[in-house]
Amino acid sequence: MKQLDTKLMHPAEQITVIIGRIYRSGMTTTSGGNVSIMDDNGDMWITPSAIDKGSLTEKDIICVKADGTIIGPHKPSSEYPFHKAIYQMRPGMRAVIHAHPPALVSFSIVHKIPNTNIIPQARRICGKIGFAPYACPGSQELGKKIATEFRNHPDYKAVIMENHGVVLCGEDLMDAYQRFETLELCARTELNAKVLGDPTYLTDEQIGRHDASLPTDYPHFMGVSYPSDERAIRTDICRIVRRSCDQGLMISTYGTVSVRWRGNDFLITPPGVPRWDIEPENIVQVKNGMVEAGKIPSRSVAMHQAIYQSNPNIDSIILTQSPYLMGFCTSGVKFDVRTIPESWIQLQDVPLVPFNLQYEDPNAIAEMTKTHPCLLLANDSVLITGKKLIDTFDHLEVAEFSAKSLIMAAPIGTLQPINDKEIEELRVAFHVGQ
Protein backbone atom coordinates (compact mmCIF):
# COMPACT_ATOMS: atom_id res chain seq x y z
CA MET A 1 0.00 0.00 0.00
CA LYS A 2 1.33 3.44 -0.97
CA GLN A 3 2.14 5.99 1.70
CA LEU A 4 0.90 9.54 1.23
CA ASP A 5 3.46 12.27 0.56
CA THR A 6 1.74 15.64 0.22
CA LYS A 7 4.99 17.46 -0.61
CA LEU A 8 6.41 15.43 -3.50
CA MET A 9 3.55 13.20 -4.69
CA HIS A 10 1.54 14.39 -7.71
CA PRO A 11 -2.04 15.50 -6.83
CA ALA A 12 -3.52 12.68 -8.94
CA GLU A 13 -1.45 10.13 -7.05
CA GLN A 14 -2.39 11.64 -3.67
CA ILE A 15 -6.08 11.45 -4.55
CA THR A 16 -5.94 7.79 -5.60
CA VAL A 17 -4.19 6.89 -2.31
CA ILE A 18 -6.81 8.63 -0.16
CA ILE A 19 -9.94 7.65 -2.07
CA GLY A 20 -8.63 4.07 -1.98
CA ARG A 21 -8.29 4.23 1.82
CA ILE A 22 -11.75 5.72 2.19
CA TYR A 23 -13.31 3.02 0.01
CA ARG A 24 -11.45 0.10 1.63
CA SER A 25 -12.40 1.41 5.08
CA GLY A 26 -16.09 1.20 4.16
CA MET A 27 -16.59 4.94 4.36
CA THR A 28 -17.94 5.35 0.85
CA THR A 29 -19.39 3.23 -1.92
CA THR A 30 -18.31 2.36 -5.45
CA SER A 31 -20.09 5.41 -6.86
CA GLY A 32 -20.07 7.71 -3.82
CA GLY A 33 -17.68 10.32 -2.50
CA ASN A 34 -15.18 12.63 -4.13
CA VAL A 35 -11.77 14.10 -3.34
CA SER A 36 -10.00 17.14 -4.78
CA ILE A 37 -6.76 19.09 -4.50
CA MET A 38 -6.08 22.68 -5.56
CA ASP A 39 -2.50 22.99 -6.76
CA ASP A 40 -0.18 26.03 -6.77
CA ASN A 41 -1.18 26.88 -10.36
CA GLY A 42 -4.84 27.27 -9.43
CA ASP A 43 -5.75 23.97 -11.16
CA MET A 44 -8.15 21.60 -9.43
CA TRP A 45 -7.55 17.85 -9.50
CA ILE A 46 -10.66 15.85 -8.70
CA THR A 47 -12.08 12.32 -8.81
CA PRO A 48 -14.25 11.54 -11.87
CA SER A 49 -17.99 11.06 -11.99
CA ALA A 50 -19.48 7.52 -11.98
CA ILE A 51 -16.15 5.67 -12.01
CA ASP A 52 -15.50 2.76 -9.62
CA LYS A 53 -13.87 4.15 -6.44
CA GLY A 54 -12.39 0.74 -5.73
CA SER A 55 -10.20 0.74 -8.83
CA LEU A 56 -9.31 4.37 -9.59
CA THR A 57 -5.89 5.02 -11.08
CA GLU A 58 -3.96 8.24 -11.52
CA LYS A 59 -5.05 8.33 -15.18
CA ASP A 60 -8.69 8.55 -14.07
CA ILE A 61 -8.19 11.76 -12.06
CA ILE A 62 -9.49 14.89 -13.77
CA CYS A 63 -7.75 18.26 -13.96
CA VAL A 64 -9.98 21.34 -14.11
CA LYS A 65 -7.74 24.21 -15.17
CA ALA A 66 -8.01 27.66 -13.69
CA ASP A 67 -9.69 28.84 -16.94
CA GLY A 68 -12.32 26.05 -16.73
CA THR A 69 -10.72 23.71 -19.29
CA ILE A 70 -11.26 20.05 -18.35
CA ILE A 71 -8.42 17.59 -18.99
CA GLY A 72 -8.93 13.86 -18.54
CA PRO A 73 -10.78 10.81 -19.89
CA HIS A 74 -13.95 11.33 -17.79
CA LYS A 75 -16.30 13.97 -16.51
CA PRO A 76 -15.29 15.54 -13.21
CA SER A 77 -17.31 14.62 -10.14
CA SER A 78 -20.89 15.84 -10.21
CA GLU A 79 -20.10 17.54 -6.88
CA TYR A 80 -17.44 19.66 -8.57
CA PRO A 81 -19.50 22.87 -7.98
CA PHE A 82 -19.21 22.78 -4.22
CA HIS A 83 -15.51 21.89 -4.32
CA LYS A 84 -14.98 24.99 -6.47
CA ALA A 85 -17.12 27.09 -4.13
CA ILE A 86 -15.14 26.01 -1.05
CA TYR A 87 -11.81 26.92 -2.64
CA GLN A 88 -13.21 30.32 -3.63
CA MET A 89 -14.45 30.99 -0.09
CA ARG A 90 -11.37 29.56 1.66
CA PRO A 91 -8.27 30.22 -0.44
CA GLY A 92 -5.99 28.83 2.30
CA MET A 93 -7.52 25.39 1.88
CA ARG A 94 -5.90 23.08 -0.68
CA ALA A 95 -7.86 19.82 -0.30
CA VAL A 96 -11.52 18.82 0.00
CA ILE A 97 -13.04 15.45 0.90
CA HIS A 98 -16.70 14.55 0.53
CA ALA A 99 -17.93 11.08 1.48
CA HIS A 100 -20.75 9.14 3.09
CA PRO A 101 -19.24 7.40 6.13
CA PRO A 102 -22.04 5.52 7.96
CA ALA A 103 -21.87 7.25 11.34
CA LEU A 104 -21.70 10.78 9.94
CA VAL A 105 -24.49 9.99 7.50
CA SER A 106 -26.55 8.89 10.52
CA PHE A 107 -26.07 12.31 12.05
CA SER A 108 -26.88 14.00 8.74
CA ILE A 109 -30.27 12.26 8.41
CA VAL A 110 -31.36 13.19 11.93
CA HIS A 111 -30.03 16.74 11.43
CA LYS A 112 -27.51 16.68 14.27
CA ILE A 113 -23.78 17.29 14.69
CA PRO A 114 -21.40 14.96 16.58
CA ASN A 115 -20.06 16.28 19.88
CA THR A 116 -16.28 16.34 19.48
CA ASN A 117 -15.78 16.73 23.25
CA ILE A 118 -16.18 12.97 23.51
CA ILE A 119 -12.40 12.37 23.12
CA PRO A 120 -9.67 14.86 24.05
CA GLN A 121 -7.87 15.40 20.72
CA ALA A 122 -10.97 15.65 18.50
CA ARG A 123 -11.93 19.25 19.11
CA ARG A 124 -8.43 20.42 18.19
CA ILE A 125 -8.35 18.35 14.99
CA CYS A 126 -11.94 18.86 13.86
CA GLY A 127 -12.70 22.35 15.13
CA LYS A 128 -16.27 23.61 15.08
CA ILE A 129 -18.63 21.71 12.78
CA GLY A 130 -21.17 23.35 10.47
CA PHE A 131 -24.48 22.11 9.06
CA ALA A 132 -25.59 22.86 5.47
CA PRO A 133 -29.31 22.66 4.53
CA TYR A 134 -30.37 20.15 1.89
CA ALA A 135 -30.05 20.80 -1.83
CA CYS A 136 -29.98 18.48 -4.83
CA PRO A 137 -26.62 16.64 -5.15
CA GLY A 138 -24.44 18.11 -7.87
CA SER A 139 -26.44 21.33 -8.07
CA GLN A 140 -25.18 24.90 -7.98
CA GLU A 141 -27.60 25.46 -5.08
CA LEU A 142 -25.82 22.84 -2.98
CA GLY A 143 -22.49 24.51 -3.74
CA LYS A 144 -23.87 27.86 -2.61
CA LYS A 145 -25.27 26.45 0.65
CA ILE A 146 -22.01 24.73 1.55
CA ALA A 147 -19.97 27.77 0.55
CA THR A 148 -22.23 29.94 2.73
CA GLU A 149 -21.37 27.82 5.78
CA PHE A 150 -17.65 28.15 5.11
CA ARG A 151 -17.94 31.89 4.30
CA ASN A 152 -20.04 32.79 7.35
CA HIS A 153 -17.87 30.73 9.69
CA PRO A 154 -14.19 31.14 8.73
CA ASP A 155 -13.14 28.72 11.50
CA TYR A 156 -15.17 25.83 10.03
CA LYS A 157 -13.23 23.06 8.28
CA ALA A 158 -16.02 20.47 8.34
CA VAL A 159 -19.71 20.68 7.46
CA ILE A 160 -22.42 18.06 7.88
CA MET A 161 -24.63 18.03 4.77
CA GLU A 162 -28.33 17.55 5.54
CA ASN A 163 -29.45 14.02 4.50
CA HIS A 164 -26.25 13.57 2.53
CA GLY A 165 -22.93 13.10 4.32
CA VAL A 166 -19.98 15.31 5.19
CA VAL A 167 -17.54 17.66 3.48
CA LEU A 168 -14.18 18.61 4.97
CA CYS A 169 -11.29 20.77 3.86
CA GLY A 170 -7.66 21.06 4.87
CA GLU A 171 -4.38 22.83 4.22
CA ASP A 172 -3.34 19.68 2.36
CA LEU A 173 -4.89 16.28 1.74
CA MET A 174 -3.40 14.71 4.87
CA ASP A 175 -4.83 17.50 7.01
CA ALA A 176 -8.28 16.97 5.49
CA TYR A 177 -8.09 13.18 5.79
CA GLN A 178 -7.08 13.23 9.45
CA ARG A 179 -10.04 15.50 10.16
CA PHE A 180 -12.31 13.13 8.21
CA GLU A 181 -11.16 10.02 10.11
CA THR A 182 -11.33 11.75 13.49
CA LEU A 183 -14.82 13.16 12.98
CA GLU A 184 -16.15 9.76 11.87
CA LEU A 185 -14.56 8.18 14.98
CA CYS A 186 -16.33 10.77 17.16
CA ALA A 187 -19.63 9.97 15.45
CA ARG A 188 -19.16 6.19 15.81
CA THR A 189 -18.09 6.52 19.43
CA GLU A 190 -21.09 8.67 20.30
CA LEU A 191 -23.51 6.30 18.54
CA ASN A 192 -22.03 3.22 20.23
CA ALA A 193 -22.12 4.93 23.62
CA LYS A 194 -25.79 5.84 23.06
CA VAL A 195 -26.63 2.19 22.36
CA LEU A 196 -25.16 1.32 25.76
CA GLY A 197 -26.46 4.29 27.73
CA ASP A 198 -25.63 7.98 27.97
CA PRO A 199 -22.30 9.25 26.61
CA THR A 200 -20.03 11.19 28.91
CA TYR A 201 -18.58 14.32 27.32
CA LEU A 202 -15.43 16.05 28.44
CA THR A 203 -15.65 19.54 29.86
CA ASP A 204 -13.43 22.34 28.64
CA GLU A 205 -11.61 22.10 31.98
CA GLN A 206 -10.90 18.39 31.46
CA ILE A 207 -9.59 18.94 27.94
CA GLY A 208 -7.43 21.78 29.21
CA ARG A 209 -6.13 19.57 32.02
CA HIS A 210 -5.34 16.84 29.48
CA ASP A 211 -3.46 19.22 27.20
CA ALA A 212 -1.54 20.73 30.12
CA SER A 213 -0.42 17.29 31.36
CA LEU A 214 1.19 16.27 28.08
CA PRO A 215 5.01 16.26 28.27
CA THR A 216 6.89 18.89 26.29
CA ASP A 217 10.52 18.14 27.08
CA TYR A 218 12.45 14.87 27.03
CA PRO A 219 16.05 14.06 28.00
CA HIS A 220 17.94 12.94 24.88
CA PHE A 221 20.98 10.77 24.30
CA MET A 222 23.47 10.76 21.44
CA GLY A 223 25.36 7.91 19.88
CA VAL A 224 22.34 5.83 18.93
CA SER A 225 23.04 2.33 17.58
CA TYR A 226 20.66 0.18 15.56
CA PRO A 227 21.64 -3.49 15.90
CA SER A 228 19.70 -6.16 14.04
CA ASP A 229 17.31 -7.03 16.86
CA GLU A 230 16.41 -3.35 17.27
CA ARG A 231 15.71 -2.98 13.54
CA ALA A 232 13.49 -6.07 13.61
CA ILE A 233 11.36 -4.49 16.35
CA ARG A 234 10.92 -1.32 14.29
CA THR A 235 9.66 -3.40 11.36
CA ASP A 236 7.27 -5.36 13.59
CA ILE A 237 5.83 -2.19 15.09
CA CYS A 238 5.18 -0.67 11.65
CA ARG A 239 3.57 -3.89 10.45
CA ILE A 240 1.18 -3.99 13.41
CA VAL A 241 0.32 -0.29 13.14
CA ARG A 242 -0.62 -0.62 9.47
CA ARG A 243 -2.58 -3.79 10.19
CA SER A 244 -4.45 -1.89 12.89
CA CYS A 245 -5.30 0.83 10.36
CA ASP A 246 -6.52 -1.76 7.86
CA GLN A 247 -8.92 -3.11 10.48
CA GLY A 248 -10.14 0.26 11.72
CA LEU A 249 -8.36 -0.12 15.07
CA MET A 250 -6.19 2.98 14.57
CA ILE A 251 -6.76 6.23 12.73
CA SER A 252 -5.12 9.54 11.98
CA THR A 253 -1.98 10.19 14.07
CA TYR A 254 -3.40 8.44 17.14
CA GLY A 255 -2.53 4.95 18.33
CA THR A 256 0.65 4.02 20.19
CA VAL A 257 2.66 0.81 20.03
CA SER A 258 5.77 0.03 22.06
CA VAL A 259 7.95 -3.07 22.41
CA ARG A 260 10.55 -3.85 25.07
CA TRP A 261 14.04 -4.15 23.58
CA ARG A 262 16.72 -4.86 26.19
CA GLY A 263 16.13 -4.59 29.92
CA ASN A 264 13.75 -1.69 30.42
CA ASP A 265 14.74 -0.05 27.13
CA PHE A 266 12.05 -0.02 24.46
CA LEU A 267 10.94 1.33 21.11
CA ILE A 268 7.79 3.40 20.66
CA THR A 269 5.78 5.19 17.98
CA PRO A 270 6.00 9.00 17.70
CA PRO A 271 3.19 11.58 17.77
CA GLY A 272 2.15 13.51 14.68
CA VAL A 273 2.98 10.81 12.10
CA PRO A 274 -0.06 9.44 10.21
CA ARG A 275 -0.45 5.82 11.25
CA TRP A 276 -1.19 4.71 7.68
CA ASP A 277 2.21 6.01 6.61
CA ILE A 278 4.49 5.13 9.51
CA GLU A 279 7.97 3.84 8.62
CA PRO A 280 10.74 2.15 10.67
CA GLU A 281 12.80 5.37 10.74
CA ASN A 282 9.90 7.11 12.53
CA ILE A 283 10.08 4.75 15.52
CA VAL A 284 11.76 6.19 18.62
CA GLN A 285 14.31 4.38 20.77
CA VAL A 286 14.04 4.97 24.54
CA LYS A 287 17.17 3.98 26.47
CA ASN A 288 17.87 4.46 30.17
CA GLY A 289 14.82 6.71 30.34
CA MET A 290 16.16 8.97 27.59
CA VAL A 291 15.03 9.48 23.99
CA GLU A 292 17.24 9.15 20.92
CA ALA A 293 18.39 12.58 19.78
CA GLY A 294 16.29 14.43 17.22
CA LYS A 295 13.07 12.51 17.87
CA ILE A 296 9.91 12.87 19.97
CA PRO A 297 8.21 9.79 21.48
CA SER A 298 4.52 9.20 22.07
CA ARG A 299 3.04 11.54 24.66
CA SER A 300 2.25 8.47 26.78
CA VAL A 301 5.94 7.45 26.96
CA ALA A 302 6.09 7.89 30.77
CA MET A 303 3.30 5.36 31.20
CA HIS A 304 5.04 2.86 28.91
CA GLN A 305 8.29 3.34 30.87
CA ALA A 306 6.47 2.76 34.17
CA ILE A 307 4.75 -0.39 32.88
CA TYR A 308 8.00 -1.96 31.65
CA GLN A 309 9.83 -1.11 34.88
CA SER A 310 7.07 -2.58 37.06
CA ASN A 311 6.15 -5.60 34.95
CA PRO A 312 9.03 -7.79 33.70
CA ASN A 313 6.50 -10.14 32.06
CA ILE A 314 5.10 -7.39 29.81
CA ASP A 315 7.05 -6.91 26.58
CA SER A 316 4.58 -5.02 24.36
CA ILE A 317 1.90 -2.36 24.73
CA ILE A 318 -0.84 -1.06 22.44
CA LEU A 319 -2.81 2.11 23.20
CA THR A 320 -5.52 3.01 20.72
CA GLN A 321 -9.07 4.24 20.03
CA SER A 322 -11.06 1.45 18.41
CA PRO A 323 -14.69 2.45 17.81
CA TYR A 324 -16.61 -0.20 19.76
CA LEU A 325 -14.32 -0.19 22.78
CA MET A 326 -14.56 3.60 22.77
CA GLY A 327 -18.32 3.18 23.20
CA PHE A 328 -17.60 1.64 26.61
CA CYS A 329 -14.84 4.16 27.37
CA THR A 330 -17.28 7.03 26.90
CA SER A 331 -20.49 5.59 28.34
CA GLY A 332 -19.19 4.32 31.67
CA VAL A 333 -21.07 1.06 31.09
CA LYS A 334 -19.17 -1.99 32.32
CA PHE A 335 -17.30 -3.85 29.58
CA ASP A 336 -18.24 -7.35 30.71
CA VAL A 337 -16.08 -9.94 28.94
CA ARG A 338 -17.71 -12.78 30.87
CA THR A 339 -19.65 -13.46 27.71
CA ILE A 340 -17.42 -15.53 25.45
CA PRO A 341 -14.82 -17.92 26.93
CA GLU A 342 -12.03 -16.67 24.65
CA SER A 343 -12.68 -13.07 25.68
CA TRP A 344 -12.36 -13.72 29.39
CA ILE A 345 -9.36 -16.05 28.99
CA GLN A 346 -7.39 -13.35 27.15
CA LEU A 347 -8.68 -10.21 28.87
CA GLN A 348 -10.05 -11.18 32.30
CA ASP A 349 -12.07 -8.45 33.97
CA VAL A 350 -11.59 -5.00 32.42
CA PRO A 351 -11.72 -1.93 34.71
CA LEU A 352 -12.53 1.63 33.62
CA VAL A 353 -9.76 4.03 34.64
CA PRO A 354 -10.51 7.70 35.50
CA PHE A 355 -9.86 10.23 32.75
CA ASN A 356 -6.26 11.39 32.28
CA LEU A 357 -4.78 9.10 34.97
CA GLN A 358 -2.24 7.74 32.45
CA TYR A 359 -0.60 11.19 32.37
CA GLU A 360 -1.19 12.34 35.93
CA ASP A 361 -0.15 9.08 37.63
CA PRO A 362 1.49 6.62 35.19
CA ASN A 363 2.71 4.46 38.09
CA ALA A 364 -0.90 3.80 39.10
CA ILE A 365 -1.61 2.52 35.59
CA ALA A 366 1.50 0.35 35.73
CA GLU A 367 0.28 -1.20 38.97
CA MET A 368 -3.11 -2.02 37.42
CA THR A 369 -1.48 -3.81 34.47
CA LYS A 370 -0.01 -6.39 36.89
CA THR A 371 -3.47 -7.98 37.16
CA HIS A 372 -5.37 -6.53 34.18
CA PRO A 373 -4.03 -7.01 30.62
CA CYS A 374 -6.76 -4.70 29.30
CA LEU A 375 -7.73 -1.30 30.71
CA LEU A 376 -10.27 1.20 29.44
CA LEU A 377 -9.06 4.77 29.90
CA ALA A 378 -12.20 6.90 30.26
CA ASN A 379 -12.94 9.12 27.22
CA ASP A 380 -9.47 8.45 25.87
CA SER A 381 -8.41 4.98 24.73
CA VAL A 382 -7.99 1.28 25.42
CA LEU A 383 -4.70 -0.06 26.82
CA ILE A 384 -3.59 -3.63 26.01
CA THR A 385 -0.45 -5.26 27.39
CA GLY A 386 1.18 -8.61 26.71
CA LYS A 387 4.29 -10.60 25.78
CA LYS A 388 4.80 -10.92 22.02
CA LEU A 389 3.47 -8.01 19.99
CA ILE A 390 1.36 -10.27 17.78
CA ASP A 391 -0.30 -11.72 20.89
CA THR A 392 -1.00 -8.24 22.26
CA PHE A 393 -2.54 -7.33 18.91
CA ASP A 394 -4.65 -10.48 19.10
CA HIS A 395 -5.89 -9.35 22.53
CA LEU A 396 -6.87 -5.99 20.99
CA GLU A 397 -8.78 -7.76 18.22
CA VAL A 398 -10.57 -9.97 20.74
CA ALA A 399 -11.45 -6.96 22.89
CA GLU A 400 -12.85 -4.98 19.96
CA PHE A 401 -14.83 -7.98 18.64
CA SER A 402 -16.23 -8.56 22.12
CA ALA A 403 -17.21 -4.91 22.47
CA LYS A 404 -18.88 -5.02 19.06
CA SER A 405 -20.84 -8.15 20.01
CA LEU A 406 -22.01 -6.59 23.27
CA ILE A 407 -23.15 -3.40 21.53
CA MET A 408 -24.95 -5.38 18.84
CA ALA A 409 -26.59 -7.52 21.53
CA ALA A 410 -27.83 -4.54 23.58
CA PRO A 411 -31.07 -3.97 21.56
CA ILE A 412 -31.88 -7.71 21.59
CA GLY A 413 -32.05 -8.45 25.28
CA THR A 414 -30.33 -8.60 28.65
CA LEU A 415 -26.75 -9.80 28.80
CA GLN A 416 -26.39 -13.35 30.15
CA PRO A 417 -22.80 -13.61 31.35
CA ILE A 418 -20.86 -16.75 32.22
CA ASN A 419 -21.34 -17.50 35.92
CA ASP A 420 -18.63 -17.67 38.60
CA LYS A 421 -18.43 -21.48 38.51
CA GLU A 422 -17.90 -21.46 34.76
CA ILE A 423 -15.28 -18.71 35.11
CA GLU A 424 -13.41 -20.83 37.66
CA GLU A 425 -13.48 -23.78 35.22
CA LEU A 426 -11.87 -21.54 32.58
CA ARG A 427 -9.29 -20.31 35.11
CA VAL A 428 -8.20 -23.84 35.92
CA ALA A 429 -8.42 -25.28 32.39
CA PHE A 430 -6.41 -22.47 30.79
CA HIS A 431 -4.11 -21.63 33.73
CA VAL A 432 -5.30 -18.03 33.85
CA GLY A 433 -3.38 -15.94 36.37
CA GLN A 434 -0.61 -18.50 36.80
Digit-coded pLDDT (tens) for 74-102: 999 999 888 999 999 898 999 999 999 99
Digit-coded pLDDT (tens) for 352-391: 999 999 999 999 999 999 999 999 999 999 999 999 999 9
Q: How many residues does the chain have?
A: 434
- Provide CATH code, domain 11-196: 3.40.225.10
Q: What is the mean pLDDT of residues 326-352?
A: 92
Each as own residue / partner, the long-range contacts of residues 143-151 (CB below 8 Å, 24 or more positions apart, any chain) are: 143/81, 143/82, 143/84, 143/85, 144/85, 146/82, 146/85, 146/86, 147/82, 147/85, 147/86, 147/88, 147/89, 150/85, 150/86, 150/89, 150/90, 151/89
CB of 259 within 8 A of CB of 284? no
Alpha carbon distance 308, 303 (integer Å):
9
Digit-coded pLDDT (tens) for 113-138: 999 999 999 999 999 999 999 999 88
Does the pLDDT value for residue 173 go beyond 90?
yes
Digit-coded pLDDT (tens) for 15-52: 999 999 999 999 999 988 999 999 999 999 999 998 99
* pLDDT at residue 139, rounded to an integer: 86
Does the pLDDT value for residue 240 go beyond 90?
yes
Q: What is the CB neighbour count within 10 angstroms for residue 109?
A: 11
Which is nearest to 22 in space by CA: 179, 237, 189? Answer: 179
* pLDDT at residue 1, rounded to an integer: 60
* pLDDT at residue 339, rounded to an integer: 86
* pLDDT at residue 434, rounded to an integer: 61
In the chain, % of residues over pLDDT 70: 100
* pLDDT at residue 313, rounded to an integer: 95
Alpha carbon distance 186, 367 (integer Å):
30
Which is nearest to 340 in space by CA: 273, 404, 252? Answer: 404
Which is nearest to 322 in space by CA: 263, 376, 269? Answer: 376
Domains 11-196 and 214-429 share a fold: yes
Does the pLDDT value for residue 399 go beyond 80?
yes
* pLDDT at residue 218, rounded to an integer: 86
Q: Which fold has domain 214-429?
A: L-fuculose-1-phosphate Aldolase (3.40.225)
Domain boundaries, the chain: 11-196, 214-429
Q: What is the mean pLDDT of the chain?
A: 94
Query: Distances in Å between the alpha carbon of 394 and those of 249, 339, 343?
Result: 12, 18, 11
Q: Are strands 290-292 and 381-386 parallel, antiparallel or unpaired?
A: unpaired
CB of 82 within 8 A of CB of 146? yes
Q: What is the mean pLDDT of residues 178-207?
A: 96
